[in-house]
């Protein structure tokens, strides 16, 4: 499976930048979710990789093939990129059976393929299976109904699954009626003779492909009925729909239809599988079930999956890497737990996690021992201890240098003739501070910020109610679900959300001595919104 590389990929419509200078490497075999709010550019990114949308500029490479390069004028069409798609509206053909729905695309394939001696190949396979009749008999005996008669359809499916056969070979195998204890040594000899004769008249490799001069002979041809059947059976086995082959889509549940759509996408063995919110039409329970199926599918097929979703839970649970985008700009590209525990900035911290993270504004400076002295809420003192060495002054210097470099690069770009000013400006993310009395955040006037202005990010699970603490809150609201309770705790005029595990009861208005524990409490720079460090927090009495 190939690696996918995006270099400086931009897509704009007029002055609107749907994707802005995106650099991304999608590694072999990974499951990457493109995540972000509605309209952030996820689908556009996916469509550009797939060849359904032409980037304005940049370069895209799949494996060792450059499929798009704006400067070199390369643009490989979608049908030559060997990618599979699964969209939200996966529309199965209602007048075709499940089998035909999956096989349909395969019957149109016409490409350079090896020339195979199918007759010899099938004869060899049959001879091999017949030589060990015990296993076949066992399968057939398992298919007897209450009256002792063998259920033929069931038998075919079981034989297909057990021996990776096409329906045609399965029918032949069944036709020997091994369950009746017949002696098939004559048949085996005749099949072997057929194979020997084929091998004498031509050179065949172990896959029964015809060889000439040490090379496999190829021809531009369609897939044979047998090959199509094998492909349909292979994917049906993966998504467990073997029993529904003769049904029409209307006779299937939503989840089963979805599995057919997945099978249809997998059948031509795409090197990369693109999925755009494929589960969004399903109900919550089915969605969850299908998530497991997709996870398994990823492992079983060994393909690279690129998956668009705006559901952060889906992105977190499925992905090996999350690519989080906002306003066309990449915010973070990391493993899900890194995104969760060490978000790059306030936007990322806010976007992932349910219930949402608590933001607490703080003012502070670093002490010589590395800890940061903070004033939070209405004048409470706290100490933030970074997990790793932190030189806060140096951090601010680096931040300023980065910003200056970015501004210089932007200036240089803006001086170019082809430059188009971005109309959808990148604005600083406005984080939300939960308070008992809330005002519209957009009316909040931006104060003049200094390097002392910081923001703490506290995940709800870091909050706990303890017997005694110098940080006293009050229960403002509680939502018990049995396994856990989501609570809102009031401290001064601020509200913090917490998740408390276990089935405790909370009384609204009751005093709540609080602990804020954990080593992944985040410290953000308020000016840039970037994460400075993660660490622990301690309140002073």
Task: Give the interface with ligand ATP as residue ranges (CB under 6 A).
Answer: 13, 16, 18, 36, 38-44, 310
Q: For residues 535 and 362, is the Cβ–Cβ distance under 8 A?
A: no
- Cβ distance to ligand ATP smaller for residue 282 or 454: 282
Helix/strand/coil for 108: coil
Nearest to 323 by CA among 338, 310, 334, 311: 334
Nearest residue to ligand ATP, scored by beta-carbon proximity = 43
How many Å apart are CA 14 and CA 99, to the nearest integer? 45
Helix 254-266 with 284-301: angle, nearest 10 deg: 20
For ligand ATP, the closer of residues 13 and 292 by Cβ is: 13
Output 41 or 133, the one with its CB closest to ligand ATP: 41
Two tokens, residue 85: 């798609």
Q: Nearest 5 degrees, angle CA 265-CA 270-CA 272?
A: 105
Least distance in angstroms from the C-beta of 425 to ligand ATP: 14
Q: Shortest gap between Cβ of 41 and ligand ATP (angstroms)?
A: 4
Minimum distance between the CB of residue 530 and ligand ATP, rounded to whole angstroms? 23
Compute the least distance from the CB of residue 356 to ligand ATP, in Å. Answer: 19
CB of 55 to ligand ATP, least distance (A): 12
Closest listed residue to residue 460, CA positions, set 495, 408, 420, 509: 495
Are residues 309 and 277 in contact, defined by beta-carbon separation less than 8 angstroms?
yes
Cβ neighbors of 89 (< 8 A, separation 6 or more) are 281
Q: Among residues 48 and 339, whose Cβ is nearest to ligand ATP?
A: 48
Compare residues 47 and 121 and give the one whose CB is closer to ligand ATP: 47
Which is closer to ligand ATP, CB of 37 or CB of 355? 37
CB of 22 to ligand ATP, least distance (A): 12
Closest CA to 217 of 112, 106, 120, 118: 112
Shortest Cβ 310–ligand ATP spacing (Å)? 4
Instruction: Write the DSSP assignment of 302-317 as a string of letters.
Output: --EEEEEES-HHHHHH
Nearer to ligand ATP, 75 or 424 (CB): 424
Strands (DSSP E) contained in 263-419 are: 272-276, 304-309, 321-326, 329-334, 358-366, 372-376, 380-386
Question: Quick one: which of 11, 91, 69, 77 has its CA closest to 43?
Answer: 11
Q: How far is the CB of 352 from ligand ATP (least distance, A)?
A: 16
Q: How far is the CB of 321 from ligand ATP (least distance, A)?
A: 17
C-beta atoms surrounding 13 within 10 Å: 10
Q: How far is the CB of 187 from ligand ATP (least distance, A)?
A: 58
Nearer to ligand ATP, 39 or 509 (CB): 39
The residue among 47 and 264 lying less far from ligand ATP, judged by its C-beta, is: 47
279: Cα separation from own chain's centroid: 12
**Residues 144, 180: Cα–Cα separation, whole Å:** 13
Backbone angles phi, psi at 403, to 5 degrees: -65, -40
Q: Which long-range contacts (CB under 8 A, 24 or more apart) does 362-370 make?
A: 362/454, 362/455, 362/456, 363/452, 363/453, 363/454, 364/452, 364/454, 365/392, 365/452, 366/390, 366/391, 366/392, 366/393
Closest approach, Cβ 324 to ligand ATP, in A, equals: 11
Q: Which CA distances in Å does 167 have to 121, 156, 172, 184, 402? A: 15, 7, 9, 21, 63
Give yes or no for a contact between 513 and 468, defined as CB atoms under 8 angstroms apart.
yes
Of 3 and 311, which has the nearer Cβ to ligand ATP? 311
Of the pair 305, 359, the CB lying nearest ligand ATP is at: 305
Q: How far is the CB of 47 from ligand ATP (least distance, A)?
A: 7
41 versus 249: smaller Cβ distance to ligand ATP:
41
Q: Nearest to residue 383, comparing CAs of 523, 529, 234?
A: 523
């Amino acid at each position: 499976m190939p690696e996918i590389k995006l270099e400086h990929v931009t897509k704009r419509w007029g002055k609107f930048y749907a994707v802005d200078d995106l650099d991304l490497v999608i590694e072999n075999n990974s499951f990457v979710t493109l995540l972000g709010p509605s309209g952030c550019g996820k689908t556009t990114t996916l469509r550009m990789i797939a060849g359904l949308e032409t980037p304005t500029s940049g370069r895209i490479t799949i494996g060792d093939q450059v499929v798009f390069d704006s400067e070199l004028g390369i643009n490989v069409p979608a049908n030559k990129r060997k990618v599979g798609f699964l969209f939200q509206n996966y529309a199965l053909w209602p007048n075709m059976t499940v089998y035909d729905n999956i096989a349909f695309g395969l019957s149109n394939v016409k490409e350079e393929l090896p020339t195979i001696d199918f007759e010899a190949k099938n004869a060899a396979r049959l001879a091999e299976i017949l030589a060990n009749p015990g296993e076949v008999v066992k399968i057939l005996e398992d298919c007897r109904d209450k009256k002792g008669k063998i259920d033929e359809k069931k038998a075919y499916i079981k034989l297909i699954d057990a021996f990776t056969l096409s329906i045609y070979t399965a029918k032949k195998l069944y036709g020997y009626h091994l369950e009746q204890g017949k002696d098939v040594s004559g048949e085996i000899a005749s099949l072997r003779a057929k194979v020997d004769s084929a091998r004498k008249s031509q050179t065949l490799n172990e896959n029964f492909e015809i060889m000439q001069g040490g090379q496999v002979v190829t021809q531009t041809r369609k897939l044979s009925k047998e090959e199509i059947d094998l492909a349909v059976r292979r994917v049906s086995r993966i998504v467990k729909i073997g029993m529904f082959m003769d049904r029409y889509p209307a006779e299937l549940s939503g989840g089963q239809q979805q599995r057919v759509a997945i099978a249809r996408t997998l059948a031509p063995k795409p090197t990369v599988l693109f999925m755009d919110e494929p589960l969004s039409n399903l109900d919550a329970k089915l969605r969850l079930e299908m998530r497991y199926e997709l996870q398994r599918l990823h492992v079983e097929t060994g393909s690279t999956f690129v998956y668009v979703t705006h559901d952060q839970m889906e992105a977190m649970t499925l992905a090996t890497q999350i690519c989080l985008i906002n306003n066309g700009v990449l915010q973070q590209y990391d493993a899900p737990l890194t995104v969760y525990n060490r978000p790059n900035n306030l936007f990322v911290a806010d976007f992932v996690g349910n219930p949402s993270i608590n933001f607490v504004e703080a003012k502070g400076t670093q002490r010589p021992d590395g800890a940061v002295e903070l004033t939070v809420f209405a004048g409470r003192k706290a100490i933030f201890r970074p997990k790793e060495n932190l030189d806060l002054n140096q951090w601010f210097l680096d931040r300023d240098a980065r910003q200056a470099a970015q501004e210089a690069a932007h200036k240089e770009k803006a001086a170019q003739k082809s430059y188009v000013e971005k109309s959808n400006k990148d604005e600083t993310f406005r984080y939300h501070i939960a308070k008992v009395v809330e005002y519209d955040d957009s009316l909040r006037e931006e104060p003049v910020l200094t390097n002392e202005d910081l923001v703490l990010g506290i995940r709800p699970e870091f909050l706990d109610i303890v017997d005694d603490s110098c940080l006293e809150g009050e229960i403002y609201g509680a939502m018990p679900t049995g396994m856990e309770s989501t609570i809102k705790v009031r401290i001064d005029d601020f509200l913090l959300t917490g998740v408390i595990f276990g089935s405790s009861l909370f009384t609204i208005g009751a005093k709540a001595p609080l602990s804020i524990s954990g080593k992944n409490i985040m410290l953000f720079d308020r000016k840039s919104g970037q994460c400075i460090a993660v660490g622990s927090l301690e309140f002073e009495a």
